[in-house]
Amino acid sequence: MEAPPAANYTLMIRDLPMDLRPRQRLIYAGAGALNDAELLAIILRIGSKGENVIRMAERLLKQFGGIRGLALATFEEICRAHGMGEAKATQIKAALELGRRMLVAAPDERPQVRSPADVANLLMLEMGLLEQEHLRVVLLDTKNYVIRVSTVYAGSLNTAVVRVGEVFRDAIRANCASIIAVHNHPSGDPTPSPEDVRVTEQLVAAGKLLDIELLDHLVIGRNRYVSLKERGLGFR
């Protein structure tokens, strides 16, 4: 039996039947019906000599380990991939950044925090991609609804750098009932360090003085997180 036209990757997109072209499939079937390679092909627009854009998209996804790998790759790494260049790398990075910003905007829907997993689901996908260590504070009302998420630090997190007043500044202004501290480990391993525990102890003590409880401190890794409260680290 002959393979369908879509399986012959040497064909140009213009040679494919209209209903197999990614743009047309998106129009009549919706974006959700397309696989990752087809969506990436729409962003890339054109392939290279001897390789249509769908085949190029599949190769890139395999080379970088999927969409997440592309998001983690640097601009220069994408540029160096066969058939790529600044224009295509820019298109990919722009599309991924739009997706990231959508995730950041999601907290505006005021989710309620019932467990550490709720906070992790809110922030892990974005914070797990950060190349620097960031400390964020989730501001909560009396019913544990998220008021907003504030970024306090970007860089190395240690007791010499963290100023308790800055961590609680937005919480005081927003008249919060409680906060949850969240920071990431760019290494991908969320195991808390001794510095993480010391910072937690400082924040717990300050929260008692300010009457703003530190409910938890989460460390975010790659698709994993650790709750210091659940492990009894820094909380007494």
**Residue 184 belongs to domain with CATH number:** 3.40.140.10
| Domain boundary pick from 42, 69, 104 | 104
Compute the average pLDDT of residues 94-102. Answer: 83
| Domain boundary pick from 104, 119, 143 | 104
Compute the average pLDDT of residues 103-127. Answer: 80
Average pLDDT, the chain: 84
Residues 72, 131, single domain; the answer is: no
Work out the angle at residue 22's Cα, subtended by the Cα atoms of residues 27 and 38, and round it to the nearest 5 degrees. Answer: 125
Say what the pLDDT of residue 9 is: 39
Determine, yes or no, domain membership for 236: no
Determine, yes or no, domain membership for 171: yes
**Is residue 20 scored above 70 in pLDDT?**
no
Compute the average pLDDT of residues 122-148. Answer: 89
Per the model's pLDDT, the better-predicted residue between 68 and 233 turns out to be: 233
Q: Out of 17-26, 40-49, 154-163, which region has the weakest mean confidence (pLDDT)?
A: 154-163
Compute the average pLDDT of residues 59-67. Answer: 91
Residues 137, 59, single domain; the answer is: no
Determine, yes or no, domain membership for 91: yes
Compute the average pLDDT of residues 172-181. Answer: 93
Residues 95, 124, single domain; the answer is: no
| pLDDT band per the 50, 70, 90 thresholds, residue 156 | low
Residues 33, 49, single domain; the answer is: yes
Say what the pLDDT of residue 122 is: 87
Cα distance between the two ends of the chain: 69
Residues 97, 128, single domain; the answer is: no
Determine, yes or no, domain membership for 80: yes
Question: What's the number of domains the chain is made of?
Answer: 2
| Domain boundary pick from 104, 124, 158 | 104
Say what the pLDDT of residue 6 is: 40
pTM (predicted TM-score):
0.59
Determine, yes or no, domain membership for 220: yes
**Cβ-count burial of 205 within 10 angstroms (0-12 exposed, 13-18 middle, 19+ buried)?**
middle
**Is residue 225 scored above 80 in pLDDT?**
yes
